[in-house]
Amino acid sequence: MKVDPLTPVGAEVTGLDVGPLSADDVTALRDLLAEHGVVVLRDQADADDDTFTAFLRSLGDLAFTTGETPLEGHPDLNLISNVGRAEPPRSTFHVDTGYVARPPAYTALRAVEIPEQGGQTLFSNQFRAHDTLPDDLRARVEGRTLRHVVTGLELGPDDEAAADHPVLRPHPVSGRVALYLDAPKRCAAIDGLDEAESGATITALLEHSTREDNVYRHAWRAGDVVIWDNGAVLHKADHAGVVGDRVMHRGMVGAYPGVA
C-alpha cells in the first residue's frame, strides 16, 4: 500500500481494493485507521454493494442503526440520499450510534452518485482535539463521562437509547486518547457537572474540536470509498449549495478487529 497523509486528519491509500481483505490487509487497514482516522480509497469504480459488503465484513460483524433506511437487497447497508427531498438533509458533527455501550468501530461510504457541486463530507481530528485542549477545559472533564442519547429515530423496545462514555477516551486499538463527543442534541450531560456547566462545557468542547484548522473536507469523486474510525473522528455532511443528486451507500462495522 502507498499512504499519502492528509491534513489535519486522514490519508489517501492506494494499492488496496474494495472487496474481501486478507488477514494482513485487515491488520494494515486497522492500524491505518487508528493512526489517521480516515482512509480515502480512490478509483473504486468496479466496487458494487456485494464487494463493498465483503470489504466491511473482512473487518468484522456489520452493525445497523435501527430507524435508518436499509438498502433494498442489502439490509446491512443503508441509503443516504438527497433525491426527491424538498429540503436538503441536515447534518452536524457526530459519531455514528454513540448512544450504545459498544458503538460501531468503523463507518464507510461508497459514492454512488456525485452532485455537480458541493456535498463534501467533513472530518475532525479528535486526537488533535484532545492534544490541544486548553488546560482549564481538560481539568474540567478529566475522568468524567458524557451521556450520549438517541435523537430522531424510532427504536424498538430492546434497543439501547443511552450510554455513558469517557470524554477523554483511549482508542481501543492504539490507546491514544481522543476527545469523544457527539452531536449537540445527543450530548445529554457530563457526570458531576450541573446542567449549566455541563451544557457550557459540551459547547466549548465541540467548538474546540471542530475548528476549521482541525477539519478535513473530503470532496467526493466518482469511484470513491471512504472509511473512518468512529473512535478517532467526528464527521458531518455539508449539504449547503449542493447541485445535483448525492447518493451514498453506507455500512458500519460493529467492533474493532482483534479487540475483545
pLDDT mean over 67-87: 90
Measured CA to CA, the distance from residue 182 to residue 234 in angstroms comes to 7
pLDDT digits (tens, 9 = 90+) for 172-198: 999 999 999 999 999 999 999 999 999
What pLDDT, on the 0 to 100 scale, is given for residue 96?
96
Q: Which domains does the chain have, with CATH numbers?
A: 1-260 (3.60.130.10)
At 141 the pLDDT is 98
Going through 29-186 in order, the beta strands assigned E by DSSP cover 38-41, 62-63, 70-71, 74-81, 106-113, 121-125, 145-149, 162-166, 168-170, 177-179
Dihedrals phi, psi of 78, to nearest 5 degrees: -130, 160
Alpha helices, DSSP H, located in 101-252: 126-131, 135-141, 195-209
The whole-angstrom separation of Cα 105 and Cα 201 is: 26
Query: DSSP class of residue 241?
Result: T
- Quote the pLDDT of residue 88: 78
The overall average pLDDT reported for the chain is: 96
Classify residue 174 as left (phi > 0), alpha (psi -120 to 50) or beta.
alpha
**pLDDT for res 260:** 65
Q: What is the largest CA-CA distance in the chain?
A: 53
Q: How many CB atoms lie within 10 A of CB 256?
A: 21
Rounded CA Rg of the chain: 18
The predicted-structure confidence for 204-255, as pLDDT tens digits, reads as follows 999 999 999 999 999 999 999 999 999 999 999 999 889 999 999 999 999 9
pLDDT at 144 over 90: yes
The C-alpha atoms of residue 8 and residue 187 are separated, in whole angstroms, by: 25
Q: What is the pTM of this model?
A: 0.96
Determine what percent of the chain is predicted with pLDDT higher than 90.
90
How many residues does the structure list for the chain? 260
Residue 256's pLDDT band (boundaries 50, 70, 90)?
A: very high
What SS3 state is found at 7?
A: coil
Question: Which amino acid is present at 140?
Answer: R
